[in-house]
Structure 1
Amino acid sequence: MADPYSTLGVARGASEADIKKAYRKLAKELHPDRNKDNPKAAERFSQVTNAYDLLNDKDKRARFDRGEIDGDGNPTMPFGGARAPGGGFRAQNFDFGGEGAGGGPDVSDIFEGLFGGRGFGGGGGGFSGGFGRRGAAPPPRGGNVAYRLRVPLTDAAALAPQRITLADGKTIDLKLPAGVEDGTQMRLSGKGDAGPGGAGDAIVTIEVEPHRFFTRDGDDVRLDLPITLKEAVEGGAVKVPTVEKPVMLTVPAGSTSGRTLRIKGRGFHKKGGGRGDQLVTLIVDVPADDAALAAFVAGWTPAGNPRSALGV
């Protein structure tokens, strides 16, 4: 039966804050998730947790200090007993149940922030309650495996399924989430390394590849679209590529370079539902070696000054 004060490395008169601080430090060092190949660390972790359970409970701590219970929380006899009528001793009724039968002090606040907010469930290691004791940690899960998956921008916008090959040689098809972007992480449960407590997870980080003519602008997709001078002057329907398939777009007559038109619903899928648009910026392409165009311009005097707004 270990002395809980010695187990935590604190003095008998230590404050509650000092006891909690000592436990946090030891729990972080000895937690089974960080010592998967060291069974002694798991055993030590259990001892440290038992010690904290006792000292964190004011009633238990007082009884231990008076010698009524030992370091394991068990009654000491005869000093922990009461004299029964007619001589002899009867054991006192020590309640170690906390808020309910078989329970113990709640140490969840200790682990908030230590291990990503995990309690004692799932892969973090479960500990059995009952009479103020905690059992040994269950077998640890296997480690997580990290993957990086390069996804074409058009596939990311359209949420096209992506095939990935895992370390064991198996391939699976991933369904990209709405709002996917460069750096998005996807967790594949049970697709990591094998372990005595079950397989770990696969963590897939998405890398959205740049496109040769599409660019992303939030949930929208931008495209610079070259058009001829005739199309700009007269207007008309032109074929425009989108992230999924080409569509027809009407160019208004008299359009100039820099004018932006909108194709609704051809951008990225949004997290909250719906979809962004494709923004098409017109670029009037003037050929340098068109003799007919050169002859026309030579005899044409345009009206107005397009730079008047600039004060020149």
Structure 2
Amino acid sequence: MRDPYAVLGVKRDAGQEEIRAAWRVLAKSVHPDQNQDDPFATVRFTEAGRAYDLLRDPERRSRYDRAHRDAEVRREMELRRMEQMRRQQTARKAQPEPAAAATESAEDMVSRIFGVDARQQPSGKAANPSPSAQPAAPAPRQAAAKTQPEPAADEPEAKPVAPRRTVAAADIFTGIIRRIRGSRAAIEKAPDLACDVTVTVSDLLKQARMPLEVNGETLRVHLAPGTTEGTAVRLREQGHRINDLKRGDAVVTVRLAPGPFRVDGFDLRTALPVTIEDAVLGCETSIEGPDGETLTVTVPAWTSSDQVIRLEGLGLFDAEGGRGHILVETRLQLWDKPDAKMIDLMRSLREGLYL
């Protein structure tokens, strides 16, 4: 959901009267009856209703404001951390690269990161054996070594330059895993892959199998009974691949696409605009259901705005085989043009004059 303040066009310190007035103006301008040629009018009207529902409730508004401030602080800290990392990377690039890096392998690089010499033997042998343990070299060999001429002091010693080898990221990651496995408990499984899939209410009701493209592969996410907004579906062995490790899982979070219905657990909420005449006298109207079917809604007489009309057993399926409900929230709307008789009636009621 977008920022409700931005949706209604009000400041963050706006009072309830200002928020209510902004909602009335916006709802009238984006009402589907006034924008029949716009296919997204219903989406905008629903979005405006959700924003008003949040901001008119002091407790929900306070929680949203706190979460927004915390998100801004985290975003600022993340930007600072990224800036610091960028500066460190720029400083490292400016420094001359050591010659040893030209022939550095993945294991050498991991050992340097962990502060351990990669040339140490992992079999438990002493890295620096004592002089007494070293076998003595044969005497003729020692004599031959002494007779070899030493290089001149002014003659530079020739150092072989090995060609640079690019180390693959997968090799580095595998080396890190091996290093961890050597020092800690063995890791048998690669990390899980976290991703999202966007669905509609109709997809949830049909319990569809949604395709999801991940790393060049097409995964199928089954929207089983009990799946709703925010549900995490785990796909076994569909995640990351790493050498010598069992393939990780794919953890797919279900996200609901914007539409006339919003999910509240297993219930579906939608807004129904009613005129003053229908609110006072009552009426029978209809709405379009999640699958495009026509649903009859009976508005009782003397219905106020934001009153909830429940349509039993037409919501989402839960894991136990039951279903939620469709909750129709009434929204009181004025006519497009001022009505003189209605104005006179309201004035007479307010001022105590009866015609």
User: Does TM-score exceed 0.5, indicating one fold?
Assistant: no
Q: Which has the higher helix share?
A: 2
